[in-house]
Chain A
Amino acid sequence: MNFIETVLARRAGRERVTPGETVWVDVDTLLTHDVCGPGTIGIFQHEFGREATVWDPDKVVLMPDHYIFTEDAHAIRNRELVRQFAHEQALPHYYDEASDRYRGVCHVGFAEEGFARPGRVLFGTDSHTCTAGAFGQFATGIGNTDAAFIMGTGRLWVKVPETVRIILHGHWPAALMAKDAILQIICDLGLDGATYGALEFVGEAVEALDMDERMTLCNMAIEAGGKCGVIPPDAVTYDYLRARGVDAFESITVNGDARYQRVLVYDVSLMRPTVAMPYTPDRAALAADLSDVKLDQCYIGSCTGGKMADFRAAARVLNGRSVACRTVMVPATREIEKALETETLHDHTLADIFRAAGAEMGPPSCAACLGGPKDTFGRLNGDEVCLSTTNRNFPGRMGSPKSQTFLASPLTVAASAVIGRIIDPSVYVT
């Protein structure tokens, strides 16, 4: 069995599992937020009764993150529903947006809190739950009904996915990031090329990445239709977890007969900064070939592109430069927001570099990545053209159906912000 099959077999209590078969697994963690939490809670109470309690309060993580900084009355009511449920059920892992426990985007907060761990099975009511696969676990997105089922029983059925192995060789060029690689991979696989497959990322170029960058790879597995993305854990994974107070790890040994549906091999040293054009994430083009695209807005944020590694990259470009179009930055979490005020580059804090460049900084949340209520920070409300570090560019994804979103790495977005057109960041980063 390969890595992800080994993880699933363990939680299914089976010697082995085979792609295509349906198994029932014990769930280690259920993650939900303010958009799908209320619906999940509603079904849970409807199915199990008003007095029912969650199967294991320690295994439910409630991180409001989507519609936080909005005056939308329904959104406010929904956050209150989540709060009430968390209190009724005495859930220890509730990150109330009205308290100093608030973290921000759940996928990044989930990792920061040390919940993402090798060998675990995570289901979350958000398609980008696959981000946690970067820590060597099975992690996938589900709907409210499945989440409510887990809430009551701690179990769920899974069809064992086929696995596509993606081997990344070579050294990363200075201007190339994990985002460029995953956009290229999604383009090669196609928007549904890995439907229900697991994407396993390996190779020395993957091993060279920090956890933030590994999360970017796994985060976008869903954009090729993937069930999950996974990176087998190594010293980088364990160091991240130890720094977060986690020091007991499940070890996963993959035996010799690992099987893959197919294997894709890349040399990252030959890749160039890549952009996905509207209106699908698989429409890749080279940044260098899109210099005629004039930008109204640049956006750096989200679970995909609002992590420390993303802001560090943007700061490398924006230090001492100014932006030529509206540039919006939304740190994924409070922890990142704080770190931007303390971490320095050439004696300036990253936040100072961004403010000096003329960028607008917003509070941590999913913000305009998915459009959201009309008053969402950074939302595209007209026919703007936006270059963004986020994950999707479907029609209307960031707000108005008239808007257009191009997806790129934070280096490409920051460099393009400087001239107001899409540009290959190699000119600024050597």
Chain B
Amino acid sequence: MVIKGKAYVVGDHVDTDQIIPAEHLVYRMDDPQERALYGRFALTGVPAEGAGLPHGCTPLVKADEAAPFTVLIGGQNFGCGSSREHAPVALAEAGIQAVVAHSYARIFFRNSVDGGFVLPAESEENLSMTIATGDEVEVNMKTQTLKNKRTGVSHALKPMDTVAEIVSAGGLFAYARENQRMGDCKNEQDYCTAGGRDRAGSVQASCEDTDRCWYPGGFAL
């Protein structure tokens, strides 16, 4: 799978309070209009000098404009701090499809994987000083590279660890249903398709409730 687009760059230790400040953790996730507010306020906690490196002072999202960025480049320990799943949701709502960080705090990484919101890739080198905000990049999980079209340089990505299967499936629920990991859960026996997915995790075309089905279809690795 290839994710292409403009890069937005931040530095090391960008914590979840910077990704989505706590005062915004009140919007409903299952209401499309409220959910969109997470995108509006994504990365608004990043201090101005670190927002959109190397120059800073470039917000990810400008008021009332669609963010032009699809790949977020982070440094070390991206997403440290709280367990708020609102963080990867906010990035996804702002149009980010892949995060490429040198390393991740584990809860953010896990939330990205299990919720299927953004692809969390790890770069071999810290790219936050190498790639500039606005560079056109291509994230290719098959070749495990991030290509910077401005410089022509390809940067190596690390192989996905044991979570690759969950990422490919599109998240924990889809993975667990495909791999008989729901246990003897009573809810599965009465499972209905109200949520828009069948037992194998694929979206039901006939489902009447697809508007509420916010999960992406998975990242083919």
Contact = CB atoms under 8 A, between A and B. Distances in A.
Interface of A: 22, 24, 35-36, 38-39, 42-43, 45-53, 55, 66-67, 72, 74-75, 78, 124-127, 129, 141-146, 149, 152-155, 157, 159, 191-192, 195-196, 222, 225, 227, 280, 370-374, 392, 394-397, 401
Interface string B92-136: 000000000001111100110011000000000000000000000
Contact of A52 (B26, B80, B190): B190
A61 B186 CA distance: 20
B9 to A, nearest CB: 17
Contacts of A74: 26-28, 34
A280 B50 CA distance: 15
A36 B85 CA distance: 8
A280 B13 contact: yes
A72 B26 contact: yes
B162 interface: yes
B173 interface: yes
A192 B26 contact: no
B77 A191 contact: yes
B185 interface: yes
Contacts of A35: 25-26, 84
B212 interface: yes
A51 B194 CA distance: 10
29 contacts: A24-B181, A39-B85, A48-B188, A48-B191, A52-B187, A53-B186, A55-B186, A67-B26, A78-B28, A129-B83, A141-B82, A142-B107, A143-B83, A143-B85, A143-B114, A143-B115, A144-B29, A153-B176, A153-B183, A153-B187, A157-B172, A191-B77, A192-B77, A192-B80, A222-B81, A371-B17, A392-B15, A395-B18, A396-B17
Given A191-B80, A192-B76, A225 B190 contact: no
B22 A371 contact: yes
Contacts of B13: 191-192, 280
Contacts, number: 175
Contacts of A370: 17, 22, 82
Given A142-B107, A396-B45, A51 B190 contact: yes
B105 A42 contact: no
Interface residues of B, number: 56
B17 A55 contact: no
A225 B80 contact: yes
A359 B120 CA distance: 45
A145 B171 contact: yes
Contact of A49 (B22, B111, B114, B190): B190
B209 to A, nearest CB: 9
A396 B173 contact: no
Contacts of A396: 17-18, 21, 45
Given A48-B195, A53-B186, A195 B77 contact: yes
Contacts of B181: 24, 155, 157
A415 B105 CA distance: 34
B47 A401 contact: yes
Contact of A47 (B15, B77, B195): B195
A47 B23 contact: no
A127 B187 contact: no
Nearest to B34: A74
B30 interface: yes
A225 B194 contact: no
Contacts of A153: 176, 182-183, 185, 187-188
A366 to B, nearest CB: 9
A5 B18 CA distance: 34
Interface string B185-208: 111101110111100000000000
B110 A392 contact: no
A143 B84 CA distance: 6
Nearest to B37: A74
Contacts of B45: 395-396, 401
Nearest to A38: B28
B183 A155 contact: yes
B86 interface: yes
B105 A192 contact: yes
A155 B197 CA distance: 20
B187 A49 contact: yes
Interface in B24-68: 25-30, 34, 45-47
A35 to B, nearest CB: 5
Given A144-B115, A392-B15, A396-B17, 11 more contacts: A51-B192, A126-B82, A142-B83, A153-B176, A155-B183, A159-B162, A192-B77, A192-B80, A280-B13, A370-B22, A371-B17
A50 B182 CA distance: 18
